[in-house]
Structure 1
Amino acid sequence: MSEVSARKATKTVFRTVPPQEVSADRKARTWITRGGNFAVCYSEVEPGAVLAREDNPEEYMVILPPDGTTATIEAGSERIEAGSDSLTIVPPGASRIVATSKGVIARIFSKGSEDIMAKASNVEAYADGAPELAPPDLWPEPYDGYRLRHYPLAQYATPGGERIQPRVFRSTNMLVNIFAHYHTRRDTKALSPHWHDDFEQASLCLNGRWIHHTRYNWGSDLDEWWPDDHEEIDTPSVIIIPARAIHTSRDIGPDGPESSLYDIFCPPRLDFASKKGFVLNEDEYPLPANASDRAVKTGGTLLSWQKPA
């Protein structure tokens, strides 16, 4: 990491600020927080709430947490009943999500969804276009073409297993790591400070209380230094961790209450995607043709599950 941090992290605690969208029937309230190449939309919905896209240019992801939220998701001629604790990848074009219960729906959109990006609460933080980030190039189309892809997440978690259980999925334009929810706090002697030189990370937390420890890379001008950030943050919330910032996250408080963490990257991370068996839907999406020639600019201490065997 050799360059100065270009911007501070954005932290949004939903419900403490006004939503960016409220449906006409008031059945859906949506908060939007963006990074340079993606946006996270957190929606609180009532039964019958509709979240529709008339002609979305790229795939997007839909997360239903394990809180009882259910929804019908439609795209083209396809229709699925999405249960609680699931991930759905929605193809480009027209789509429609109808809530069939009260709960939370999280959606992740790429930079191609310009209308979503423009509505974000922190849009001014990216007025410069985020030139420090690698371009969000689309990866190749899925082997069997674009379609709805639905993943019930419970089948990818081991009950009573290790505290950190990564569940990584990707599309043509993004990658998510949906950690299995856990009830024991992170060991403060086993943290993982690291950074990403040319891409951002969003960490969406729907349960628990968190500290996203952040240290910015300094330059030669003392007046432009930013102090370390160790602020406690409530949930539901999201942090956009900028490129070049050293960071690590931990949930705090006593053991027992549930914590949840969803890490988001756009475009997909090549280091994760090229590690055989790590991305759970890797057989559905090809790697870029020049994958072996691409450098992945990340550094620092990595979690044990990120290290090669």
Structure 2
Amino acid sequence: MYVQSDPRSTLASEPKPATRVHESFFGSQLALFYETEPQASDSNGETWISRGQNFVVAYSKGQAGGSFARVAQPDEYALIIPDRETSVEITTADGTTTVPGYSVAFIPPGDSTIKLLTGGTIVRLFTPKSEDLAAAASNAKAFGGAHPNVPPFEPWPEPPGGLTLKWYTLDVPEDPNRFGRIYRCTTFMINYLTPRNGPRARDKVSPHHHDDFEQCSLALTGAFTHHLRWPWTTNMNTWREDEHLFCGSPSICVIPPPSIHTTTAEGPDVNQLVDIFSPPRMDFSAKPGWVLNADDYPMPE
């Protein structure tokens, strides 16, 4: 349910499969990085790790010169550099590239290193194929078994010519016909939403649900309340209480299907949220012009 001015209101015109009847539900997951100890801390910086069923988030406050390496990485992973003042060098088998701040990058499998040229924040996104990071997540025990409503992860097709380092600036003009700034790779879709100054209007929220994929909402600045409600089925034993989860930043909220959800910005200043999906969303990808790097990564046939 979207207000008419929300670009997602046009998604309703797309053909959709019949709504699934869910027999069980899985609760939300919160990771409040700002009030918990990091999962890793050394001379390179501090890193908080949390996960959903199909993804792992590693949020790092890195030191200048700090190095974050992956050896024999099994699949493509993503990097968000949220601050303009932070720049990094990324080294892969093809060489070394300097990537400026306020960018996203997609890094190929194999050996790679991210070196911070300046101190700052980086956010890395992995699938659970990165077993070391999945095991290190603060909520690893919550995902010891199969998720009842999320299909097993399947990567999207590789670009022609194979996987190489690609990076994109987030500094692109706003477009009222496009929802946020969306980039995708074989493993992730990142939607860097338009920052909101001050609280969200209470009469223009967007409650909606997803049948079979998770949403990870990453709060970079400001504060948010994530509102979740689960359907009532004929089996009252599966019912869950509504949730209104207040989160400062940095933090993540994992919103599981098929919960009805919407998020309200709460901070008095800049509230910056990033929505993350793994694998990429088909409905967003099908909208012409929404995915800014669509020419680089093909959709499944």
Q: Distance in 1 between matches of 2:298 and 2:236?
A: 46
Whichever residue aligns with residue 3 of structure 1, its letter is: H
Q: Distance in 1 between matches of 2:162 and 2:195?
A: 32
Q: Distance in 2 between matches of 1:223 and 1:131?
A: 15
What's the counterpart of residue 60 of structure 1? 77
Contact 1:208-1:235 within 8 A present in 2 as well = yes
Cα offsets for 1:49-74 (capped at 9, x unmatched): 11110011111110001252221111
Find 1:264's aligned residue among 276, 293, 298: 276
How far 1:285 moved relative to its partner? Answer: 1.3
Q: What number of residue pairs does the alignment pair up?
A: 282
Q: Are 1:234 and 2:251 counterparts?
A: no
What's the counterpart of residue 197 of structure 2? 183
CA RMSD of aligned residues (A): 1.9
Q: Distance in 2 between matches of 1:5 and 1:67?
A: 43
Find 2:143's aligned residue among 120, 126, 151: 126
Runs of 4+ in 1 over 6 A off after TM superposition: none
Q: TM-score, normalised by structure 2?
A: 0.88
Q: Distance in 2 between matches of 1:253 and 1:36?
A: 29
Q: Give the SS at the match of 1:124.
A: helix
Q: Give the SS at the match of 1:195.
A: coil
Whichever residue aligns with residue 279 of structure 1, its letter is: V
Q: Distance in 2 between matches of 1:263 and 1:237?
A: 12
Q: Distance in 1 between matches of 2:232 and 2:62?
A: 42
Cα offsets for 1:213-267 (capped at 9, x unmatched): 111234445455321111321111100111111111110143xx11111101111
Q: Give the SS at the match of 1:117.
A: helix
Distance 1:139 1:38, change over 3 A: same
Contact 1:214-1:248 within 8 A present in 2 as well = yes
What's the counterpart of residue 51 of structure 1? 68
Q: Distance in 2 between matches of 1:97 and 1:34?
A: 21
Structure 1 gap segments, 5+ residues each: 290-309
Distance 1:269 1:165, change over 3 A: closer
Aligned positions of 1:294-309 closer than 5 A: none
Aligned positions of 1:114-193 closer than 5 A: 114-154=131-171, 156-158=172-174, 166-193=180-207
Cα offsets for 1:140-181 (capped at 9, x unmatched): 111232111011111x233xx76x951111111211111132
What's the counterpart of residue 277 of structure 1? 289
Q: Equivalent pairs: percent with the same residue?
A: 37
Find 1:72's aligned residue among 89, 95, 99: 89
What's the counterpart of residue 231 of structure 2? 217
Structure 2 gap segments, 5+ residues each: 1-19
How far 1:187 moved relative to its partner? Answer: 2.1
